[in-house]
Every structure is written in C-alpha cells, then in structure tokens.
Amino acid sequence: MKHRIAGKKLHRNFDEKRALLRSLTRAMFTHGAIETTDAKVKAVVPMVEKLANIIMTKEELTAKRELFRVLQDQHWVNRVVANFKSVFGDQTSNFTTIQKIKRRYGDDALIVKFSFVKAVNFKPEIKEEVKKETKKIIKKVAVKKEKPAKKVKAVKKESK
C-alpha cells in the first residue's frame, strides 16, 4: 500500500530527483521551453507553476528570493521577473502547456514539449553600440600585436 507517499519517483533517490527537478525548472526559465519525457514534465509542472504564480502575485523581493533558490544567478533572476511580468500581465495561473511530440525509439517513451503559454524572451538583448566598441578594441589589440619587420639596410656594391 502507498499510504502517505506522493509524487513520482522517476527511478532516482531523493537527492537525484531534487537535482533533476531543479535543473528542468532552471532550463524552463532559461529557455522558455524544453523537450523531455512525459513523466518528468508531470513531475516538474507543479514546481514551475508555483514559481510563476509567486512571480505574478507576491512582492518583487519575495518573488526574486524564491526564484533565486532555483536559478542561483541574481542577474538572471532580475531578467526573468521583469520579462515574465511584462508578458503575462495580470494572469495568475495556467502559465504552461504540454504538447506531445513523438515516441522515443529505444524505449517508446512519450516525448513532450513543455513551454509557457505565451512566448517569453529571457535572453538578454545585445546592444549594437557594445558590438561596435568591442570590434574597435579588437582591431586596436590586433594592430598593437603586429610588429613591423626590422629594416635591413641594403649594401650597395661598388663596381670598379
């Protein structure tokens, strides 16, 4: 009997399962969508939905602290919170969707695409000015490294 046992084991012990769920959640908030097995997605859905709900409903500092527990990068947390709130507005639930893709050849496991309902861009935008400045710096460094060849004095032979 399974009394007081909840959740999916995923053929892992407690620490391995926790690490797997954190990495899937981190990938979800990093890329916006992941492709993995149906069992793993069903195990990670509550964690992602809970974090998304916290971002939308709690104060900004509380939301950032909760998200930092999973993402472990403060710059990324700031970017995720800002982009997430701008895309989802006043929505407080149903942030994710699951789409069946295929069956894996080796073990016939169902592969699904787990993504946010709306497209969220978590990647930082690269400014054109920064690109131009770095190109100038690279050119200066390349010019400094090139040393001119030593000048050899030509000796003229005098004819008699």
In a domain, 151, yes or no: no
Q: Is 89 left (phi over 0), alpha (psi -120 to 50) or beta?
A: left
From first to last of its 160 residues, the chain has per-residue pLDDT tens of 878 887 778 888 889 999 999 999 989 988 889 999 999 999 999 999 999 999 888 888 998 998 899 888 888 888 888 888 888 888 888 889 999 999 999 899 999 999 998 887 777 666 666 666 776 677 666 666 566 666 666 666 666 5
**pLDDT value for 153:** 66
Residue 159 within a domain? no
Note whether residue 119 is domain-resident: yes
> Residue 56 sits in a domain of what CATH number?
3.90.1030.10
Q: What is the pLDDT of residue 100?
A: 94
- Contact between 33 and 115 under an 8 Å Cβ cutoff? The reply is yes
Domain tally, the chain: 1
What does the alpha-carbon distance between residue 152 and residue 22 come to, in Å, rounded to a whole number?
A: 66
For residue 4, being part of any structural domain is answered with: no
d(C-alpha 29, C-alpha 20), whole Å: 14
Over the chain, what is the mean pLDDT? 83
d(CA 148, CA 136): 21
Inside any domain, residue 157: no
The per-residue pLDDT for 110 is 93
For a pLDDT cut of 90, what percent of the chain falls above it?
30
Beta carbons of 21 and 44 less than 8 angstroms apart: yes
Predicted local confidence at residue 68, as pLDDT: 92
Please tell me the pTM assigned to this model.
0.70
Is residue 156 included in any domain, yes or no? Answer: no
pLDDT for residue 142: 64
**Domain contains 6:** no
Q: In this predicted structure, what is the pLDDT of residue 152?
A: 63
Which domain covers residue 107, as residue numbers? 14-145
